[in-house]
Amino acid sequence: MGPFETIDFNAPVGLADYAARYSQMYREMSVFQSSEMKWDVNLIKRIHKDRRSMLEETGIEERQVWHDRSLADLVAHKSKLDKQSNKFE
pLDDT digits (tens, 9 = 90+) for 38-70: 788 999 999 999 999 988 888 888 988 998 999
* Residue of higher predicted confidence among 89 and 6: 6
Q: CA-CA distance, 35 to 20, in Å (whole number)? A: 21
Model pTM score = 0.68
* Predicted local distance difference test score (pLDDT) of residue 3: 87
Kindly state the average pLDDT of the residues 26-33.
85
Question: How many domains are there within the chain?
Answer: 1
Q: CA-CA distance, 59 to 36, in Å (whole number)? A: 34
Task: Say if residue 15's pLDDT is above 70.
Answer: yes
Q: Which domain holds residue 12?
A: 3-86
Task: Say if residue 5's pLDDT is above 70.
Answer: yes
